[in-house]
Structure formats: C-alpha cells, structure tokens
Amino acid sequence: MKKTFILLVGLFLISVEGHSQLSQAQRDSINQLTQADHRLMMDRLGLESLRPGPSGNPQAPNAANTDESKVKLVNLPDPLVFEDGAPVKNVEDWKKRKQELFELFDREMYGRTPQNLPEVNWEIVWEKDSLIGETLTRYRKMKGLVDNSAFPEISVSIDFEYGVPKNVDKSVPLVLEFGWIWPAGMQRPTSPPGPSWQEQVLAEGWGFGVIIPTSYQADNGAGLRSGIIGLVNKGKPRKLEDWGTLKAWAWGASRALDFLATDSKINAQKVVIEGLSRYGKAALVTLAYDDRFSMGLIGSSGAGGAKLLKRVFGEQIENLASSGEYHWFTPNFIRYAGPMTQDDLPIDAHELIALCAPRPMFISVGSPTVEGQWIDGKGMFDAAVLAGPVYELFGKKPLPVREFPPLGTNLNSGDLAFRQHEGGHTVGPNWPFFIVWAERYLGK
C-alpha cells in the first residue's frame, strides 16, 4: 500500500523530468502557466468546475476504487456496430467503421493531428561502434530538425538514437521505445537486474531505438504553446479539437520511422513500438494511428491507454482531465469530468486496441501489490478481450481466455497477448516473454 503511494509520488517527481535541474521559481512558473491554460480551456468549453479525481494513495479518504464488486460498465460501445446501428460484417465494413472510430477518438479524446505538418530533416549527430551486452552495435545518435520557417520564434527538434547489430548483412527488425529521461544520477527504481531490454533485443538480432518525446513536446500544459503543438499553432493556445501531447508524441515516432525506412540496415516492415505508462498510452496511440508500425508492446498504459475508461477502478477520467494530465488529450476531453461522465464517452479503450487490428499487440502490466491498482490491469485485460472479435474478423487470434488470469500467466498463444508480471511499474520482467512471442512475427 505504502509502496503504491511512493510510486505515485515518484511518478510525479519524474513527470517534471529533467526539471530537477530547474529552480523552484521555474517550476512554479510551469505550474502557473499550466493552471492558466487549463482554466482557459475550461472557460472556452463553458465549464465552471470539474469533478476532482480520486486519489492514488490507497490510504486517502478519497482513494480510487479497488473493489471489483463496485464496477459496472455503462454504455459500452461495440466496435463491430456502426454508429447507425448496422453491424460490421467483414473487413471491408471494418475499414469504414475505423473511420468512424478515428473521428470519435479525434474529436472526443486525443484530438486532431493537423494536416500539413512541417518536414523533419534528420541528421546523424554521431555514429560509433559499441559493444552493447555481447553485440557489436552500430550506434547512432540522431537529431530531427523540424522546419520552423512558418514561425521561426519556436524551434523544435527530435532526439532519437538507435542501434543495429553491426555484423549482419540483411535488414533487421527494430523495437522503438518512447524513452524516459531520468533526472541526473537517478536509476529507474523498479528495473530488474540483468541485461537491459536493448541488450536483449540486440542478442535476438534485432535493433533498438529510443525516442525522447519531451524533446519535441513537453509533458505539461505550460508546454502546449511550444514544441510541435505550439509551432503549428504559432504560439497560440489550442483550439478545442486540437491534438494533445499523446498524439504529438506519436507524430514524432512516425517521423523516426520515416527515417528508419531510409536505412538499409532496418526492415521498416518490422518496426515495433513500445512504451511504459504515459508512454504506453503514446505507444498504443501510435500503433492505432500509424499502420506502418507492425506491432506493439504496451506497458502499464492504464487510463487513457489500454484500460477501459468506463470502469470505475483505479485512475479515472477526472484525473486525466485535471491540470496535471489534460495536456495528453484534446481540450474537448475535459468535458467528461463535468458535466459529462465516463458513461457519456462514445468510445472506449477496447476500440483503440481494435484499431490496431490485425497487428499483434502484447499488453503488459505489473503486480497489483507492487505496482498498485492505479493502472488497473484487469481494465486493460477486459479491453483486450473486447477487441478480440475485431482481430477474429481478420482471421487473427484473440486472447485465449475471457477470465482475468492469475499473476504471471503468460497468455501468448494469440495475436493479442497479455501478461501481468510480478514486479512494479516497469515492462522489465515481461521483456523475455515479449521477445519469445514476437519471434513468431519478427524471426530471430
């Protein structure tokens, strides 16, 4: 219990990532700008106040619900039914249904990615051969310079690095991660000992990539008038259906993929997107919206990611709509924290997962006693179950069971895979399970 609270405090500290170097005054200013932007969006939406979200501290009087008997699902939409009530009967129908779902997710939740986004010019900052684990690796540090000629006051660039096994003469698959920046000297606390995920994928003969989302879009509301979102809006506040940070992060991953596709060492048909927590949400959004990504490893994505938002368990829509997290979404989404509720949402996470069909997806979460219940592992599992029929439409295999499995069960027989590991807020212990499953698609 105590651990969960520590985790949440830790996450908060990390979410001001890199900001540990900032002075108190700078942090206060980020906070004030965030509050002001959140308030402005509420005013424009005609919202006076919002319902507060529950607390992630299990001891708090307003602790988030963790009692399964209190969960009810109201107005859960069926991905295989069109908005006019007609059934989706085949893959052709699904293509049209997908457009309806993209429209709803754009308008109500993640926002509209602008048309005509500026070009990104990639440059190699350095390239060297290094031994990573036991693999001699061609390691490149990249910078993606975003064309800002339309508004030179804001400059944006994408930090990205990747490595491929040096001594292979064919193109290789690559796993691309949305990477956290840990404040100087701080190690991710829950990482298991043993080889890093990069060492593991290299040993498999695959490449790895790490893109730094906060290099091109800050992880706070104050940053919405800069970064790629601010550049496109020429420094002005967002409009009510504008994209949020998750979609902006996804845009950056797509640009990295553009570059990877020009590297003859990479098999661009076999690029996996991976992320944890807020970056698990970003990875899922990336996979759903850019079908050039061939598969996903979605770590502890929780609310706003793979977890059913209509489930009142763990983190809630009110938390997502608060000033600390609203920037991940379109401003319109704030309405669901007052007067509307999760029951009014016309979409839910199972449909986001379904948008990734038929591409394989592995959903990962930690132990409820170590990671805590905030992430709601069962909410993500249930969403994956409900996305199953869409995978089946393509002749793909859904999860093999419908009942939430005991901790550690490796549900890897289908194209949708799920595993709840014994550790905390990390993908760590699930990497070897993911790799064995992914070999089926990527080869060794």
Q: How far is the CB of 30 from ligand GCU (least distance, A)?
A: 17
CB atoms within 10 A of CB 302: 27
Name residues contacting ligand GCU, limited to 368-427 (CB under 6 A).
374
319 binds ligand GCU (CB under 6 A): yes
CA pair distance 199, 165, nearest whole angstrom: 10
- Closest listed residue to residue 206, CA positions, set 137, 292, 125: 137
- Using the minimum distance from each CB to ligand GCU, give the nearer residue, 303 or 438: 303
Q: How far is the CB of 78 from ligand GCU (least distance, A)?
A: 26
**How many of the chain's residues bind ligand GCU (CB under 6 A)?**
9
277 binds ligand GCU (CB under 6 A): yes
Q: Which residues does 430 contact at the CB level (< 8 Å), separation at least 6?
A: 297, 299, 362, 364, 419, 421
One character per residue 101-130, x = contact with ligand GCU (rule: CB under 6 A): ------------------------------
From the number of C-beta atoms within 10 Å of its C-beta (0-12, 13-18, 19+), residue 397 rates as middle
- Using the minimum distance from each CB to ligand GCU, give the nearer residue, 79 or 302: 302
Residue type, 186: M
- Using the minimum distance from each CB to ligand GCU, give the nearer residue, 163 or 299: 299
Strand partners for 145:
121, 157
8 binds ligand GCU (CB under 6 A): yes
CA distances from 361 to 166, 288, 394, 398, 417 (A): 28, 11, 14, 10, 6
Among 244, 275, 302, 414, binds ligand GCU (CB under 6 A): 302
Residue found by looking up tokens 């599992």 in the block: 381
Name residues contacting ligand GCU, limited to 280-299 (CB under 6 A).
none
Q: How far is the CB of 70 from ligand GCU (least distance, A)?
A: 20
Q: How far is the CB of 28 from ligand GCU (least distance, A)?
A: 21
User: Which stretches of 56-195 are DSSP H helices?
Assistant: 91-105
- Using the minimum distance from each CB to ligand GCU, give the nearer residue, 4 or 294: 4
The three-class DSSP label of residue 228 is helix
Strands (E), 235-323: 266-276, 295-299
CB atoms within 10 A of CB 98: 19
Structure tokens, 388: 């199953």
CB atoms within 10 A of CB 344: 14
Q: How far is the CB of 156 from ligand GCU (least distance, A)?
A: 22
278 binds ligand GCU (CB under 6 A): yes
Among 101, 232, 303, 417, binds ligand GCU (CB under 6 A): 303
Q: How far is the CB of 22 from ligand GCU (least distance, A)?
A: 19
- Using the minimum distance from each CB to ligand GCU, give the nearer residue, 79 or 428: 428
Q: How far is the CB of 333 from ligand GCU (least distance, A)?
A: 13
315 binds ligand GCU (CB under 6 A): yes
User: Which stretches of 215-360 are DSSP H helices?
Assistant: 227-232, 245-260, 278-289, 317-320, 349-354
63 binds ligand GCU (CB under 6 A): no
CA pair distance 109, 336, nearest whole angstrom: 10
Q: How far is the CB of 35 from ligand GCU (least distance, A)?
A: 18
Q: Is beta strand 266-276 parallel, antiparallel or unpaired with respect to 172-178?
A: parallel
- Using the minimum distance from each CB to ligand GCU, give the nearer residue, 270 or 310: 310
Residues lying near ligand GCU in the complex (CB under 6 A) are found at 8, 11, 277-278, 302-303, 315, 319, 374
